[in-house]
Amino acid sequence: MFLFAQPAFAGEEAFTQCRPIEAIEERVACYDKLVDSLSESDAVPDAQSLFGRNDADAKRIVETSLAIEQIDQVEAAVTEVRRSANRKLVVTLDNGQIWRQLDNQPMHLKSGESVIVRKASLNSFLLEKKSGSRSIRVKRAN
Q: Residue 4 falls within a domain, yes or no? A: no
| Domain span including residue 43 | 10-65
Q: 98 and 114, same structural domain?
A: yes
Q: Examine residue 84 and state whether it is found in any structural domain, yes or no.
A: yes
Say yes or no: 57 and 83 in one domain: no
Nearest to 84 by CA among 128, 125, 136: 136
With a threshold of 0.85, does the pTM exceed it? no
CB 142 within 8 A of CB 97: yes
| CA of residue 92 relative to chain centroid, distance | 22
Q: What's the rounded Cα separation, in Å, for the pair 53 and 70?
A: 20
User: Tens place of pLDDT for every residue, the chain, 142 residues?
Assistant: 344 444 444 456 777 888 888 998 988 888 888 777 665 555 677 778 788 888 888 888 888 888 888 889 999 999 999 999 999 999 999 999 999 999 999 999 999 999 999 999 888 999 999 988 789 999 999 9
Domain identity same for 85 and 113: yes
Q: What is the dihedral of CA 135, 93, 125, 60, to 10 degrees?
A: -160
